[in-house]
């Protein structure tokens, strides 16, 4: 017993000693020269940027269940193998198969006006022949409740200005439920965007089993405001609406994985990437092909430089984030028992990187914070901060693993492109893309190589 106690104490003391040596001086002395090599290589390399352009332009939008997505996945797997990534493979994921059909919205009174419209992902179709009804414009759920007696038999239009994504997206996400509860026969939402360019933005919505399902879609800021002004003048606009969307049986898709195997603790994994699916608009360059291709590119850069950290770096391209998040759930079900030192995603748009974020034990975070001076070699405004996370890594974080994410400074641009036809490759700035790639490559290389017992800090659920 005494001998066992002594061995345990020696192990504890050795871990404490090891972690005590991981201070800022140690990190800068060991990793700054390596980081400079990585940054120099990344900023002069265009291969990942070209791969991003190829995926966007050649395969197009990549909605779950689409042939476009599966064609893109097959090409990515082939090219990752050609680049020499370790253990390239796909994991099966059953995903929703929702398809958009004919969409038409016309204000028929007080004058005839064609209104661009998009069904939200998951919306049911209108009855055959469409819907013809008066419009009720509301400025939120409280306003809808106050006007409940007027909503019955009408098309409810949510005209709520964009303040931030969390504030505005609720009307897209659960707007149909609230409108149906008030007796509406359909609902439309002012697009979740801060900029009025007659642009229409889609996204995911949900129904409640206890509430009648009604068609639900988006219109532009301009048209929501027009309907509002008419109503404010005492005029009840009338509208005809046709949405022919359909939910088909689930289909098979895949998460894509490729690795750089660790040279000392290969069984410990740092999984990082983004979601390979997108909406059936634009080509998903910002959301989220940029992150997927950058995670692949980061591993290729490290391999080209002959750099392998202690732990395994795993590029993951998750399926079906946009309308079901099944890729992240499947990854946790299939890999949750593997020892993950970190799960990390980038899903904030491709702009200049502003923060590498970690959600982890506070003592561990204080160690990670010490890499900040090195990251400033990429961008002087780049910091290490807390509150990392995301939809795809959420299931793994709920198992107790640390989570991380890359934040970017979009200067108000991201939600101009988000979930719309404007999210295309030419919006990606080469230098900003490579800065994001470098931020991931450097920070995750350091994380994967630090002489730390990460599992001292991890309490797996």
Q: Which two tokens stand for residue 418?
A: 């988000």
Q: For residues 274 and 404, what is the distance between their CA atoms, to the nearest angstrom? A: 12
94 backbone φψ class: left, alpha, beta (φ>0; ψ -120 to 50): beta
- Alpha helix stretches (DSSP H) within 44-164: 47-59, 67-82, 141-146, 148-151
Q: Which two tokens stand for residue 24?
A: 């800022």
Q: For residues 210 and 177, what is the distance between their CA atoms, to the nearest angstrom? A: 9
Q: Which two tokens stand for residue 34?
A: 């390596």
User: What are the φ and ψ backbone dihedral angles of 15, each rounded to 5 degrees?
Assistant: -65, -45
For the chain, the residue count is 461
Q: Which two tokens stand for residue 197?
A: 């360019």
Residue 207 near residue 117 (C-beta atoms within 8 A) = no
Residue 216 near residue 176 (C-beta atoms within 8 A) = yes
The 10 Å CB-count burial string (b at 16+, else e) for 134-145 is: ebbbbeebeebe
Q: In what order do the strands lie in the sheet with 186-190?
A: 113-114, 103-109, 238-243, 131-138, 155-158, 186-190, 216-219, 118-119
Q: Supply angle C-alpha 445, 55, 443, rounded to 5.
A: 10
Nearest to 161, CA basis, from 187, 186, 188, 196: 196
Positive/negative CA dihedral, 174, 178, 183, 184: negative
Task: Give the CB-side neighbour count of residue 408, counting CA atoms within 13 A.
Answer: 28
Active site residue 321: yes
- Alpha helix stretches (DSSP H) within 219-347: 221-232, 290-304, 326-335
Nearest to 450, CA basis, from 17, 26, 10, 14: 26
157 backbone φψ class: left, alpha, beta (φ>0; ψ -120 to 50): beta
Q: For residues 125 and 247, what is the distance between their CA atoms, to the nearest angstrom? A: 9
Q: For residues 60 and 66, what is the distance between their CA atoms, to the nearest angstrom? A: 11
Out of 103, 321, 322, 345, the active site residue is 321
Q: For residues 277 and 392, what is the distance between their CA atoms, to the nearest angstrom? A: 12
Would you name the residues annotated as active-site residues?
A: 321
């Amino acid at each position: 017993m005494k001998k066992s106690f002594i061995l345990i104490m020696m192990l504890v003391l050795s871990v404490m000693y090891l972690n005590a040596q991981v201070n800022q001086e140690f990190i800068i002395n060991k990793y700054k020269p390596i980081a400079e090599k990585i940054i120099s290589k990344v900023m002069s390399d265009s291969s990942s940027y070209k791969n991003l352009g190829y995926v966007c332009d050649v395969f197009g939008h990549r909605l779950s269940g689409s042939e476009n997505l599966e064609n893109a996945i097959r090409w990515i797997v082939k090219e990752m193998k050609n680049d020499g990534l370790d253990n390239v493979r796909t994991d099966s994921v059953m995903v929703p198969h929702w398809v958009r059909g004919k969409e038409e919205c016309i204000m028929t009174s007080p004058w005839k006006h064609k209104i661009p419209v998009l069904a939200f992902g998951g919306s049911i179709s209108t009855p055959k022949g469409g819907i013809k009804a008066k419009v009720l414009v509301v400025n939120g759920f409280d306003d809808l409740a106050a006007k409940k007696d007027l909503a019955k038999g009408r098309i409810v239009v949510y005209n709520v200005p964009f303040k931030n994504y969390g504030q505005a997206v609720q009307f897209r996400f659960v707007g149909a439920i609230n409108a149906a509860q008030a007796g509406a026969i359909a609902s439309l939402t002012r697009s979740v965007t801060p900029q009025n360019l007659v642009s229409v933005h889609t996204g995911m919505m949900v129904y409640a089993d206890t509430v009648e399902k009604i068609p639900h879609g988006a219109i532009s800021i301009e048209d929501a405001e027009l309907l509002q002004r008419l109503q404010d003048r005492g005029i009840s606009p009338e509208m005809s609406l046709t949405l022919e969307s359909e939910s088909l049986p689930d289909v098979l898709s895949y998460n894509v994985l490729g690795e750089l195997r660790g040279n000392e603790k290969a069984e410990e994994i740092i999984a990082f990437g983004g979601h390979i699916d997108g909406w059936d608009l634009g080509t998903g360059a910002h959301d989220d092909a940029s992150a997927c291709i950058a995670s692949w590119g980061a591993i290729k850069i490290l391999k080209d430089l002959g750099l392998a950290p202690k732990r395994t770096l795993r590029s993951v391209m998750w399926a079906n984030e946009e309308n079901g998040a099944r890729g992240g759930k499947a990854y946790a079900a299939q890999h949750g028992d593997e020892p993950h030192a970190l799960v990390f995603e980038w899903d904030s748009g491709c702009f200049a990187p502003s923060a590498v974020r970690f959600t982890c034990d506070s003592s561990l975070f204080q160690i990670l914070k010490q890499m900040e001076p090195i990251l400033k070699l990429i961008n002087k405004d780049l910091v290490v901060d807390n509150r990392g996370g995301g939809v795809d890594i959420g299931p793994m974080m709920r198992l107790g693993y640390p989570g991380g994410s890359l934040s970017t400074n979009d200067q108000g641009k991201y939600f101009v492109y988000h979930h719309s036809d404007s999210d295309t490759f030419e919006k990606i700035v080469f230098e900003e893309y490579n800065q994001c790639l470098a931020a991931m490559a450097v920070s995750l290389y350091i994380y994967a190589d630090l002489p730390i017992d990460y599992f001292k800090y991890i309490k797996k659920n």
